[in-house]
Amino acid sequence: MRIATRLLWILVIAGSLLASGRPPLEPGQQSVTVNVTHRGKAVPDLAAPNFIVRQGQMPLDVVSAQPAGPASVVFLVENSAASWNYLQDVNSAMRGFLAHARPQDGYALVSYGRDVRVEATLTSDPTEVARAFAGRTQSSWPDATLYDALDRLLDQTPTLPNRPVIVLIGSGLDRFSEAGYKQLLERIESEDVVIHAIQLGGTDPALRPQPKISADLRSMIAARTAAEQAPPDLNWGAMFLRAITTASGGRFFCPPCEAAFSSAVEQILQSLDADYRVVYRRAPERAAGKLRVEAFRLDDDVRTNFDVRVGRR
């Protein structure tokens, strides 16, 4: 099983003819991909002097900064029995993909349910991905091994020809994976990969109306839920998807209607134009704390600060 899976993953990159967009680093250097926007729009023409990088409170030497260039975008789509209830939502996402795919990027399609399956190898032709999606076979497996799918995909992202971007479309739920939540999240935090997520199955939990109940009744409900060991609902899936997107510097979407799935994919693909690859000298061992990146521009001594999204590396 594991050998067959590895052979399938080899096929993800076998179809790619794209030139690499990730030049090698010099000894002692590290890089990070950051998303720089201003009022929701990409900011062009930034260079190393426009960035400040800190490890905790320690400033680091920025060597270079340039547009991140082409991406290798892998769509990771849930294929469980439950996910087919939301087929029209995923169809809407695919329509958004076809309408807004960038010609310089490569695209692949991987589905996950009981097993992980490569539906379309990396290609510069979006219609090949759409045809592969339309030809998927419906799964009868009731759940999805999402953690294992992400873990195996992360094994392959270093071999992709350009910077890796994962677009996950699924519920976020998982009950059968061998990979653990904590270990997977720690791995994502340390990997040079951006993960965006679009949740199937409901609106954003933060927008759901909360009933007004007394503290005593709330405690009774919590105790009863714990006693019955109620299965996780979409709120748990949303928590996981938010965690992995925050850890990698990506965005989380929970569309409230079918048409919003197309818009979510459009926003994700447009955000690729706002990505920069920032190369900096590695912090000394004594430096501690979260990596922080700022971006700004000076015009006539007036400083404009930009919105920067970066993973927790």
pLDDT above 50 for 102: yes
* Alpha carbons 153 and 155: distance in angstroms, whole number: 5
Confidence of residue 215 (pLDDT cuts 50, 70, 90): low
Q: Is 61 helix (H, G, I), strand (E, B) or coil?
A: coil
Split at pLDDT 50, 70, 90, the class of 15 is very low
Are 123 and 70 spatial neighbours (Cβ–Cβ below 8 Å)?
A: no
* Amino acid 219: pLDDT: 55
What pLDDT was estimated at residue 57?
87
pTM, full prediction: 0.82
Tokens of 265: 């994919």
Give the tens place of pLDDT for each residue, 28-65: 898 889 999 998 899 999 999 999 999 888 999 999 99
206 pLDDT higher than 80 = no
